[in-house]
Amino acid sequence: MTTVLGSIADDFTGATDLAGLLARSGVRVSLHIGVPDAPPQETAAFEVIALKCRTAPVAEAVAETRAALAWLRAAGAERFFWKYCSTFDSTPEGNIGPVAEALMQDLGVEQTIYCPAFPENGRAIFMGNLFVGRDPLAESPMKDHPLTPMRDSNLMRLLTPQVTRPVGLADRLTVAKGPEALRAELQRLKREGVAHVIVDAVANDDLGVIAEACRDMRLMTGGSAVAMPLPALYLADGTLSAQAGAAEHPRFDPAGVVLSGSCSAMTRAQVAAYQAQGAPSCKLDPLTLAAEGPGAALAWLAGQDLARCPLIYATAEPAEVRRAQEELGTAKAGVIVEEALAACAIAARDAGASRFVVAGGETSGAVTKALGVARLDIGPEIAPGVPWTYCTSAGRRLAVTLKSGNFGAETFFAEALSKLEAA
């Protein structure tokens, strides 16, 4: 069928987050890892392309997202969504703003919105400032992110140096008045030449207002949650027809592995909780990996009972991360960890693992690429924005969940495995 909404995500966990929320509608969602090599054939109503461009050089990120846009347009999509993290992970150089401007140029649009709010996961925007729970972004653990430390909470100040055209705000007072008021405010800003509009949202009801007001925009941008109301709107007006048949949930044997590269505060708590339940675990140290490679971790994994879903992790406290980055360099330290976890994923698969719980956006990208995953089918949701997905690797069916570092409760790892068994 013709694709109704084509989405591009800047990392793999973000893509599964978005796909999972769209799949709540019961409509088929197809998720591709990277831009497909082949032209579109049988496409889904919602097509999502996952890229690994959040921290890539700006020119590379722009080129990849433009290629993804071209594929989605060939699939028949006329509406598009640029998905980035609900904590607006970026630097003064990009990549959120430069990609948005490139997509706007290719689509010939004069204005788009930015709404990374995700109230179910504690992300809210008020008067242009992003909050993580009750804390402003710059006072949250995101201030210590190893690749994109967020030292400002104001989205207008964060976005302005990334773009070439004016940035404005549609605040909560406008959103609270409903879709017509928001639509009128966006038109007023457009007449004033404002191309990039931050839109406040503090509750799920706000997301519904924003989606209704912006549903006909050719390009929307934000976190996954602002796209969540779109399927119901499209179904209600006949833009989209409900697809027959429920998604299939295949069965998997108990063998699995948990791979954690994220160093977020929540993932640190999740690692500790999983260890406290008695899960066997092996910690990766970037300095040791740089000197000796992943051999010791692979040997440890080879001796484990995969039915217990052992944990291999590089998750560490901020001070420990900084020490490794100072000695190895930020980029190298990250690549070393990603390569080691990818090697562990291949070894686990070859040893019979069929269940993979992966924490961290960069880690998820490295693992899925190592496993040769090209497409994911969306399964049951474990936590808001984190579904199980099903794929094929080396001729075997696998269940994989790709968790953004900050998502999920402290008991997420165990809950994920239990959710799969109950599917």
The contacts of residue 6 (CB under 8 Å, 6+ apart) are: 47, 49, 69, 72, 73, 75, 77, 79, 80, 81
Identify whether residues 13 and 98 lie together within a single domain: yes
Which pLDDT belongs to residue 247?
A: 56
Task: Determine, yes or no, domain membership for 244.
Answer: no
Identify whether residues 261 and 232 lie together within a single domain: no
Of the three residues 236, 265, 294, the one that is the final residue of a domain is: 236
Instruction: Find out whether 260 and 310 touch, Cβ atoms under 8 Å.
Output: no
Of the three residues 208, 236, 264, the one that is the final residue of a domain is: 236
Task: Determine, yes or no, domain membership for 216.
Answer: yes
415: CATH: 3.40.980.20
For the chain, give the number of residues: 423
Task: Determine, yes or no, domain membership for 246.
Answer: no
How many domains does one find in the chain?
2
Task: Determine, yes or no, domain membership for 243.
Answer: no
Which pLDDT belongs to residue 385?
A: 82
Identify whether residues 13 and 97 lie together within a single domain: yes
Of the three residues 236, 271, 288, the one that is the final residue of a domain is: 236
Identify whether residues 262 and 227 lie together within a single domain: no
Identify whether residues 119 and 74 lie together within a single domain: yes
Identify whether residues 232 and 263 lie together within a single domain: no
Task: Determine, yes or no, domain membership for 245.
Answer: no
Task: Determine, yes or no, domain membership for 131.
Answer: yes
Identify whether residues 294 and 168 lie together within a single domain: no
Identify whether residues 109 and 223 lie together within a single domain: yes
User: By three-state DSSP, how is residue 164 classified?
Assistant: coil
User: Which residues form the domain of 302?
Assistant: 256-422
Instruction: Find out whether 388 and 412 touch, Cβ atoms under 8 Å.
Output: no
Identify whether residues 58 and 161 lie together within a single domain: yes
Which residue intervals of 329-377 are DSSP H helices? 330-350, 361-370
Residue 395 CA: distances (Å) to CA of 300, 349, 391: 26, 11, 10
Which pLDDT belongs to residue 372?
A: 94
Identify whether residues 263 and 385 lie together within a single domain: yes
102: CATH: 3.40.50.10840
Task: Determine, yes or no, domain membership for 241.
Answer: no
* Strands (E) located in 249-346: 256-260, 281-283, 311-313
Identify whether residues 218 and 263 lie together within a single domain: no
Task: Determine, yes or no, domain membership for 355.
Answer: yes
Written as tens digits, the pLDDT of the chain (423 aa) is 689 999 999 988 889 889 999 988 888 888 999 999 989 988 888 999 999 899 999 999 999 999 999 999 999 999 999 999 999 999 999 999 999 999 999 999 999 999 999 999 899 999 999 999 999 999 998 888 888 899 999 999 999 999 999 999 999 999 999 999 999 999 999 999 999 999 999 999 999 999 999 999 999 999 999 999 999 999 998 888 765 334 567 889 899 999 999 999 999 999 999 999 999 999 999 999 999 999 999 999 999 999 999 999 999 999 999 999 999 998 899 999 999 999 999 999 999 999 999 999 889 989 999 999 998 888 888 998 889 999 999 999 999 999 988 889 999 999 999 988 755
Identify whether residues 35 and 125 lie together within a single domain: yes
